[in-house]
Each structure stands twice: as C-alpha cells, then as structure tokens.
Amino acid sequence: MKDYKNLFFKILKNGGLFLILIVFTFYFVFRGMDLNTVVNTISKTNAFYLLIGALCMCIFLLCEASNFRRNLTALGYKTSLKQCINYSVQGFFFSSITPSASGGQPMQAYQMYKDDIKISHSTLVLFVEFIFFQTVTIMYAIIGFATQYSLLNGKINSLMILFILGIVFNFAVLVAFILVLFHSEKVKKLLNIVVRFLKFCKFKKADMIKEKVDSIIDDYKECAMYIVKNKGIMFKTFIIKCVQIFAIHSVPYWIYRSFGFNEYSIFMFVGVQAVLFISVSALPLPGSVGASESGFLILFKLLFPASVLNEAMLLSRGVSFYLFVFLCGIFILVKYASDTRAKRLAKLQAAKEAAEKKVYKKRVVQQI
C-alpha cells in the first residue's frame, strides 16, 4: 500500500507540472484564434486515418511489450503478453509526465519486481531496450535529416542547434553505455583518473562516487555477456524497435491524410518527425511538452498548408501523446483498484482460513 501512496504522490507532483505546461503551451499556440474555426476544421477530418494513427500508437506499445517478453523468456521467465503490456504502459505514462523521461524505467523495474523478476534481470532487460531505443532513434534522425535535407536546409535554422545538441547528447549517452558494457576495464581506469582529480580538488565524496560507479559497471558485465550470447534475440529486438519507432513517427502522416492531402509520402513525414523527436529529446521537460508543439509548427509548416497547421499539430500530438497518456493513466488507475481489491480479498481469505483452523483445533481438543 505504501508503494501505491508513493505512486499517487508522484503522479500528483509531476502531473501538476505536466498540466501547467500543457495549459501554457496551448494558450500561446491558440491565442487569437477562433476556437469555433479550430473545432470546425478538426470535425471535417477523416476519422479512418485518425484511427490508423491511434493504431500506430498501439503498435508502439505492443512492440515494446514484445521485446520485453522475448528477453524475459530468454532469461527463463514465463511472462504473459498482458504483463509485458503493463510494463510498456507504465513506462510510457511515467516517462511522459516526468522530466527527461526519468520515471519510466524505475516504474517498469518495480512492476517486474512485483511479478517476481529479479532486479538484476529487470535492469538487464530495460538496459537492452534502452540501448536499442537510443540506437534506432539516432539512426532514424540521421537518415531523416539526410533524406529530407533539401526540404529542411535553410528553413529550420531555429531548430538546427537543438538538432545538433540532440544528436550529440543521445550519441554520447549511447557511446557511454557501450563503453561501460564492452570496455569496462578502460572505463574504470578513466574513472580512477577522474577520482584522483576530484581528490586533488579536495572533493570529499570522490571515493563514494567511485564505489557506486564500480558497482554499476560490474552489474553491466552480465548484460554484456547476455548480448553477446543472444545475437539472434538482439537482432529481433532491433527489428521490432525499428517497427516501433517507425509507427510513432508515422502518426503526423496519418493526420496529414485525415485532412484529405496525399502529395507527400509517409517517408517524408517519418524523416521530419525523427528530426523533431531528436531535437527536443535532450530538453528536461515532461513529455517535451511545449518544445514538441513549437517544433511541430516550425518543421511541419513545410508539409502542411498554413490554414490547418495548428489543427494538425493539435491532432498529431493529441493522437501520439496526450490521448495515450490519458488512456495509460486510466489503465494504471484501474490496475491499482484491481490490485488493491485482490489484496483485500486475499487478506479476508487468509483471516477466514485462520479462523476455520482455530475452530477446527478447538473441536479436536474437545473431542480428546
């Protein structure tokens, strides 16, 4: 029960910041616009393509669940698809409402722990998922920028710095993790140099930092061995991750089609969305709220007519983000209620059985 109280307070705290950012974002985007016109424009869209966009988001969550199940099965766990969907939903929701997506993986690890999965194994599975997410995200962004260079060149100067920072930041994180995985001894030597420098600067917690980092590096050795020994599983994980990222990046295209346009291909939209995603990924904002909307208006003005650009942004972010944050939140609340009820029934059943045993023992004693 204590864990769920912490969960509630975390939702309340981060959800407050999240809602404030949403209010400010949409106030500045839609101020001065006639809301009746916005509603009228959206009402004329083709619901079929909006549903395809929503289906792409379902594919996004299912792909991650599939990767979880595959890797957990390889580690000897018999997890159901339902359990793995829960991990995926928890990750999406808490990543969305916490700065820098910091709350997603800890909550996923906690849910796995509740399902009797060792912390070392849940950490390994989440680490593999993170490595491939970073790899595919960077890959899509670079390919997107390269293939759409003629479209983007000279027209997104305001986002170019963020794009470069996003690539550098995500690539640096990926390289750091790969070095820790496969060149741990070299990383430890580098760490020793850093610690000596910190001691020279009379930093008191230098040794404590070294112990913690050494412990983390040792834990990741098991992950490195797992990756090397399961190359086939790693390849499948990579392919599914490519499908997953393509699905979420394709949502703007389906919004485009819902307005009745078909001039540009899905690959153009995926490429531009990949550039946008990496550009705002390094910003410490819950769900990149504000940055993603502003970036959409800058980048997708190259593909959407100005007359529907704001409405397109609202629908695209609505389908790919806000709708599924809401649905995942409902899922978590329902699961919380279900788990609480199951615990209460289990306690009542245990109390009933204990009472019956007590009565039985009393009867036995009386008979003797």
Give the global pTM.
0.83
Q: How far apart are CA 4 and CA 333, in angstroms?
A: 10
SS (H, E, C) 124-185: HHHHHHHHHHHHHHHHHHHHHHHHCHHHHCCCCHHHHHHHHHHHHHHHHHHHHHHHHHHCHH
- Name the burial class of residue 55, with classes exposed (0-12), middle (13-18) and buried (19+) by CB atoms within 10 angstroms of its CB: middle
Helix 119-147 × helix 231-249 angle, to 10°: 50
Q: 116 in the Ramachandran plot: left (φ > 0), alpha (ψ -120 to 50) or beta? A: left
pLDDT in tens, 184-200: 777 777 777 777 777 66
Q: How confident is the model at residue 286 (pLDDT cuts 50, 70, 90)?
A: confident
Q: How confident is the model at residue 68 (pLDDT cuts 50, 70, 90)?
A: very high
Please tell me the number of Cα atoms within 13 Å of 349 on its side-chain side: 6
Helix (H) or strand (E) holding 293: helix 291-299
Task: Write the single-letter amino acid at 322.
Answer: Y
DSSP assignment of 50-63 equals HHHHHHHHHHHHHH
Lowest-confidence range among 183-197, 248-262, 270-284? 183-197
pLDDT at 1: 43
